[in-house]
Structure 1
Amino acid sequence: MRFFFFSLEESRMHIHIRQAEKKAKIWIEPSISLAENKGFSSTEISNIIKEVQKHEHIIREKWNNHRGSNND
């Protein structure tokens, strides 16, 4: 499973997840929630959300380094 950002996408904080042909997008702001899902089971999505919650501080740090600290 791969977690990543796209460079020139919307400014609202989020992360993409891909595994083979499955993909999902998770909002980080205003709260961690599912934005879209294509192929992951509900159990897999629950586990992905738990991982995002567990590593939220790292994701936020990486987002800010990737996008710059001004996310307007």
Structure 2
Amino acid sequence: MHVHVQSPDGEAKFWLEPEIELAKNYRFSRKQLKALESLIEEHYHELTNSWERHFRC
């Protein structure tokens, strides 16, 4: 499971399983990546539930 993050500032991919981990980063600063990781942690269950619904239909 993973999520992609895109904005005018950059793009990133984070693995959700087996733990939240940065997979790729294009142009986000460390501060931005930390904020993104915090948002992913905060919404972890929503993200994993949506991923499972979408890909395991």
Q: TM-score w.r.t. structure 1 length?
A: 0.75
How many percent of aligned residue pairs carry the same amino acid? Answer: 32
Match of 2:21 in 1: 33
Q: Which aligned segments of 4 or more residues in structure 1 are displaced greater than 4 angstroms?
A: none
Match of 1:20 in 2: 8
Match of 1:58 in 2: 46
Q: Which has the higher helix share?
A: 2
CA RMSD of aligned residues (A): 1.2
**Residue ranges of structure 1 left out of the alignment (5+ in a row):** 1-12
The aligned length equals 57
